[in-house]
Structure 1
């Protein structure tokens, strides 16, 4: 039974649907004000009150987009999907589906530590399953589909970055709650550095 393989195109299509639904649901967590509220408080007061929600939307949307692009890149190197890879993918999607809830939980209690730590945990676990998928594909394909050693290290470095940033941010939330909210910026900065480093390395190896 372990040698059963599954249709790669169906798994990619299903995964794309889950990512797109989760990313779309993020906007639904921002309450739309009614006319009476706008008349009473004014447009800018209403929008100001929703700043945490918009921050959560933008951060979660962009981070989910990074994981979706990583998923697309990785699946390009997969010849066939076996049971282990299938279940790693399913658990990855489970925590992607959870993200709209954890985002709403966090922004609904923006300055509380517990909800933010839960949010960081959710994103760190998505990163963990992303890394486990990459590690398994690298081992399984073993260079058969153009996944060179340098490319494999590039994928792993980006995945580890995602895990560490959210773990560090969650830990810092207990001692430095305000600062911890801005640690996510390093996620994007470090990705740029990783990309630059491995781009040079790939050019040298040509």
Structure 2
């Protein structure tokens, strides 16, 4: 299998995941601003989830712009990543329906953590295939922002009891950290591969 085929398959799965999330958003039966305010937990969890799926789609695209060779480990690592990402619509819906209760938010955060761990494992397998000293290995080294991401995510999970919205805010901030990292990666790839 070529990296283009793997990327196309992954794009299709991510498009389905976003479609499922959109279909789970139900319009309120009432026509007041108050009913929209009541939907804040649903909409907030949707925004955070959409951000994360977008981040992983972008990172995935950049990853396979650099890496051209793939093997069985990379295929399975990619499927592992897609598995965790496919759980995001479920946890998003669960948070929305239960107005940001502890257990759904904990599972939501765990799914985000596992998605990031899976992505790093995919990256690691690509580096292993190409070699640490290869251009691909040097291009894909793990950045310090990954540690910041994990720190913010874990903080969000640990302070669950203080306020229901704080963990969701932490997940959003961690997502913004990933967007900043993505911008740096994108700029690096543009300058290096022009």
- After superposition, where does 1:19-168 map in structure 2 within 5 Å? 19-33=14-28, 37-38=29-30, 42-142=31-131, 146-147=135-136, 149=138, 151-153=139-141, 155-168=142-155
- 2: CA distance, partners of 1:87 / 1:63: 21
What corresponds to 1:3 in structure 2?
none
Q: Is the 8 A contact 2:145 2:178 kept in 1?
A: yes
- 2: CA distance, partners of 1:193 / 1:108: 31
Where structure 1 has 5 or more consecutive residues not aligned to the other structure, the ranges are 1-5
Runs (4 or more) in structure 1 with deviation over 6 Å come to 195-200
Number of matched residues? 188
- 2: CA distance, partners of 1:118 / 1:25: 18
Shift of 1:27: 1.6
Q: Residue by residue, what CA displacement relative to the aligned partner does 1:60-83 show, whole Å, maximum 9, x if unpaired?
A: 101111111111111122232211
Structure-2 change in CA distance of 1:195 and 1:59 (3 Å) = closer
1:15 aligns with 2:3: no
Structure-2 change in CA distance of 1:97 and 1:43 (3 Å) = same
Q: Is the 8 A contact 1:88 1:132 kept in 2?
A: yes
Structure of greater relative contact order (alpha carbons < 8 Å, 6+ residues apart) = 2
SS of residue matched to 2:78: helix
Shift of 1:57: 1.3
Calculate the TM-score normalised by the size of structure 1.
0.78
SS of residue matched to 1:32: coil
Q: Is the 8 A contact 1:124 1:164 kept in 2?
A: no
- 2: CA distance, partners of 1:182 / 1:138: 33
Query: In structure 1, which of residues 171, 180, 190 is the aligned counterpart of residue 158 of structure 2?
Result: 171
1:182 aligns with 2:177: no
Where structure 2 has 5 or more consecutive residues not aligned to the other structure, the ranges are none
Higher mean Cα deviation, 189-198 or 162-171?
189-198
